[in-house]
Each structure stands twice: as C-alpha cells, then as structure tokens.
Structure 1
Amino acid sequence: MGYSFITDATDTNSPFLIRDYLYKELSPILKQHRPIIFICIGTDRSTGDSLGPLVGEKLKYMLRHDVFVYGNLENPVHAKNLDEVLNDIRSKFNNPFIIAIDACLSDIQNVGKIFIEKKPLFPGMAVHKNLPPVGHLSIVGVVNISGNLEFMVLQNTRLYTVMTIADAISRGIYHCILKTVGGKKNLLDNQIEGIISK
C-alpha cells in the first residue's frame, strides 16, 4: 500500500517530520483562508481507541484563525456521533479541508508507526463498523497488531504506545500550524507546548 508519509513515533525527529510534511500540504490551503478541521476520532473507553481523543486533548487550546479541532477526552468523536459532527461541520464552515486522525491495527512491524495518506479515513474498519469516510487527508497511528478479536486487542493495548503516538502527532500538528500561521510564541503558546509535552 503506497502511503504518502510514514514515520515511527519513537523516533525523536518524528514530530518535525510530521510538521514538515503537513506544512507542505496545508500551507496552500491556509493561504486561501480555507478552514482546516482536525477530526480526532475514537473513545477514551478503550485504551487502543483513545489515540484520537488524546491528540484532540493535546490540541484543544490551539487557538488559531481558520484551524479547528473536533474530538477530545471530554467530547470524543466516535461511531455514535460521527454523522452529527460531520453535519455540524458542513453547516458551520464553507468548503473546509478535513484531516481525520484515528488509531488502527496492523502487522507487528508497523506498531508505533504513523501513516499519512492523501485520502479519506474509514473509521471503525478494525472492528468492522460501517461508518462514512472522513477527511481529505488521514493520519493513523498503529497501536497494536491486527488479527482475531480486534475489539479485545484494542482493549488490551498499552497506554504507553498510544501516548507515544499521540505525542508525536500532536507536536507535529502544533508546530506545523505555528510555522504556517507565523507569529511569535506568546504565553498561551508556551502553555500549550507544556501540555503537548506531557
């Protein structure tokens, strides 16, 4: 499968590689003042499926013009409310560029890796849920191995693995937006950086 971008979350350079890739993709969109929406999909009720809400939690204070984040630990975006969230976005934003973020399962050699593709995400595939495709760009983190009983695999995923991936993705996104929008870091930015680094 030909992914546009792959990095290992344990690589200390992974946030900067994500930043540079997203900067290349998002700069033209932000220059058009087209809203960019990050939809962080998942639920905090399952460790393996909590990647999206954790990324959203780390980014929820990222106050930037034309950049919006849906999905965090308090208000997750999941199978039961995904349609409602998508309808809300369509009603509020004109021609938004949507980036979907979710956890996935794969082969053992891919655990801990982050994949970015220039195509929609199909959430819920690992647990055989039929949900609508989401986004123009997709970011997925491999949290565990695929196989039988995917639901149980997600329930028994190491939180450390999920947190490592969430840290890399959120830091990459944050620094991409900071680089794209420009401006000096202020007190709020320093507070955000502290939250993301935790």
Structure 2
Amino acid sequence: MQQVEISLHSPFTSKTVSESQNRSLLLQFLLAEILSAVGAINRDEPQEKIFSEPVLLFPFAWSRSIGSLNKIEEHAKLLSFAFPKQEENALSFIHSVLQLEEKISGEDLLTKEEMTNEFRKLYIQLDPFLLSCCKSETLLLFLLLNREKIDALASPENLSSLIARMLPKGIESLATIICREYKNRGFTALCEEIDEILGEHV
C-alpha cells in the first residue's frame, strides 16, 4: 500500500517541492516562520506560539494553535527533496530543529537570548539553500522586504553579504533581475511598484 503524505502546513509534497518556484517558496516559508518565532520571543508571547506539543489526534485537532517551530519541522522535512544535491545540509538542518524542540520541551527553560540565538543558527544554516535559489525573483524580493527583521536577527552585514553572493553582478543588478523575471511571468504591471520597494530597501 502506498504511504500517504500528510501535511498540516506545507502545500508541497516530496514530489512537487523540487520544482524551481516551489523550492524558493519552501525557503520563504521557513524564513517566515523563523522570523515569526523570533518576533514571538521578543513580544514575550506564550511558548505555544513558538513550539507546541505534537498533535496526537490528527485530524481531529486540526484547529489547535501550532507553533512556528512545528511548522519549521514540517517544511524542513522537504528540504532534501527540494535540494537533493544538498542532502547533508538538509539532514543537518532538520537535526538542529529537532534538537531545539528537545531543548524547549526540557525542564531547563531557555532565556530569550538563548532562544533567539537558536533561531539565528537555523537562519544561518539556510545559507547554502538560499544561494541555490539565487535566480528566484520572489525570494530576492522576500529577503529585501524582510531586511530589517533579518538584520536584527543576524547582523546588518549578513543580508548584504548574502545578496552580494547571490548576484555576481552586484546588488546594483537586483532591480533589473527582479523586474525581468516578473515580466517573463507576465507581471509587467508590478515593475513600477517593485522599483519603489527596492528604492526603500536597497
């Protein structure tokens, strides 16, 4: 009997996630949850917003609030399918996620600084995957739109360095690349808005 894949949060399967745009979106989902978790930590929100105990009665507990780290785990399990040439990095990332879940579930409470540092490590571990999607206009735009949050989590130099490595012709070529790719997909009308966004964030 064929095993059925059950995903609570990811729109992808192990078969569909390897498509170019889906690989990029998977990374954006992971980044969004990392930033969401850090935001919850900074706002002193309940731990359930960051990590909640696994749902044991699926699908009956579908309405239960799920923490960002739970979602990160689900997305992380697809990394090796999305990036088969980076299986070792994918396994290392999921291992770090599971270790963090154990730490949060443990008796010794982590401080805000310790929690933030753990999510910072997860962000840094995504670096090789981000570089693999250097031609994704949606990922580049996502990174720019979240620049302040990423700078606060990592360092002001981190994102600039990442984008510089993603773009061989330098950050000056960013607007051209993003607009060109959106035009190729038929979203020409968005270019003016994109130029305004880039003007604010580059």
Q: So what's the TM-score if we normalise by structure 1?
A: 0.31
More helix by share: 2
Bigger-Rg structure (1/2) = 2
Specify which structure has the bigger relative contact order, considering alpha-carbon pairs within 8 angstroms and separated by 6 or more residues. 1
More strand by share: 1
